[in-house]
Structure 1
Amino acid sequence: MSSDAPPTILAVDDEPSLTALYEAWLSDRGDVLTATDGTDALELAEDESVDAVMLDRHMPGMTGDEVLDELRDRGHECPVVMVTGVDPDVDIVAMPFDEYLVKPVGRDEVRTTVDTVLSRRTYDEHVREFFALARKKAVLESTCTDGTLTASDEYHELTVEFDAARERANTARDDVLEDGFEELALHHG
C-alpha cells in the first residue's frame, strides 16, 4: 500500500448483517471488503492487497482460527483483529493475531482498534510483536482466573515471550533514538 492510498480492511463474519455493519463503521477508514466464510476471505486476501483483517472465530466450515493460520501460512503479515463471541482462554497464546475483541462490540471500539492496528504497521517488527503479546496477556488476565493462569504452561510461556519481546522492542527503540541523534548531529554539527 502506498502512503496516500486508503487501506484495505477485510471484515469476515458468517453473519452478513455484521459484515455490513463493520463496512458502514469503517468505510471512512479505507476500502472495506467483506466475506461471510473462510474460503471467500482467503480468496479476497489473495486477490487484494489487504492491510488489516477483522475475523470471527466461530464460522461454519472453515473456522476463523483456521483462516488465521492459513493467512499466516500464505505469508500475509497484515494485522488481524479477532472479533468473536468466543471468550478467550489460554488457547489464544499460540494464535498469531494482533487484537482480540469479544462481541458484542460497538462502533467506537471497532474503529479505535482498526486505527490502532493500522498505525502499528509502520512500527519495527519487534515493537509490533511486543504489542501483539501484550494484548494477548491483557486479554487473558482480564478473562481468566489467577488459578487458571498460574496453572497454565501456555501462559507461563507467553509471559517469557512477552518479557523477551519487551527487551527487543526497547532495544529497537533505543537504536532508533540513537540513529536519530547521530543524524541530527551530522546535519547540525
Structure 2
Amino acid sequence: MSDAPQTVLTVDDERSLTELYAAWLSDTYEVRQANSAADALRTVASGLDPDVVLLDRQMPQMTGDDVLTELRAEGVDCPVVMVTAVDPGFDIVSMPFDDYLVKPVTNEEVQRTIAASLTRGTYDEQVRRYFTLARKKAVLEASSAVSDRHSNPTYQELRRELEQVSHTADRTRDELLRPGRPLECN
C-alpha cells in the first residue's frame, strides 16, 4: 500500500471553485484541477488515474454528463461525484456517477462525500451498486424539482432494483455467515 495521497480531480469551468476545492482538500489529497471538459479529458488521457472526480454538470462546449460518459468509456472507474447547481431529475438514475451534491456546497460536505466515496470504492461490486442506487434514491427524494416521483416509472424501477440488490446482498451475507462455513481470507 502506497503512502502517496489519493488524487482528486476537480472539474469545473469556474476556476474560483476548483481553487476553492483545492484549498479545502490539499491537506489530505493530491488535487488536480481542470477548468473545462477538454482539460479534464486531456488530464486523464495524459495518464492521471484519479481516485475521485468532482465534476460540474453545467460547462460550456461539453456538459459534465458528456464528460462522465467519456470518462467511463475511457475506462475511468473511480468514484465520480457530480457537484452542480442543477437540481436532479430522473435522468440521474441511468448516469454512471457515485454521488450528487447540489451547489452551494460546504467544505465539510465535500470532505465527507469524498471520504465516503473512497470507502465505498473498496467494497465489492454488489455493495457498491447498493450504495449507488440508495444514494440516487435519496437525492431524488430530497429534490424539490422532482415532485411526481412516486408515479414516475423510472423512479419505480429504481426502487425495484434497489430492493432486488438489497435482497441479493442480504442472501449473500446470510450465506457467508452460515454456521459451519469456513471463512476465506485474502
Fold match by TM threshold 0.5: yes
**Partner deviation per Cα, 1:32-58 (whole Å, 9 max, x = no partner):** 111011111112123211111000000
**Unpaired segments of 5 or more residues in structure 1?**
none
Partner of 2:4: 5
How far apart are 1:74 and its partner, in Å?
1.5
Deviation readout 1:47-83 (Å, 9 max, x if unpaired): 2111110000000011000011111112211000000
The structural deviation recorded for 1:17 is 0.3
Aligned-partner SS, 1:86: coil
- Partners in 2 of 1:84 and 1:119 — Cα distance? 22
1:144 deviates by 4.5
Residue 110 of structure 1 aligns with which residue? 110
| 1:183 partner SS | coil
Consecutive unaligned residues in structure 2, runs of 5 or more: none
Aligned mates of 1:175, 1:71 — CA distance in 2? 36
Q: Deviations over 1:121-178 (max 9, x none)?
A: 1101110111011010001011157851122111111111111221233344445545
**CA-based RMSD:** 2.2
* 3-state SS in 2 of match to 1:33: strand
Contact preservation (8 Å) 2:83, 2:103 = yes
CA distance in 1, matches of 2:63, 2:35: 11
Identical columns (%): 51
User: Which residue in 2 is equivalent to 1:21?
Assistant: 20
- TM-score, normalising length: structure 1: 0.88
Change beyond 3 A, Cα 1:71–1:162: same
Q: Which residue of 1 aligns with 2:164?
A: 164
Deviation at 1:116, TM superposition (A): 0.5
SS of match in other structure, 1:108: helix
Contact 2:87 2:145 in 1 (8 A): no
| Matched residues, number | 183
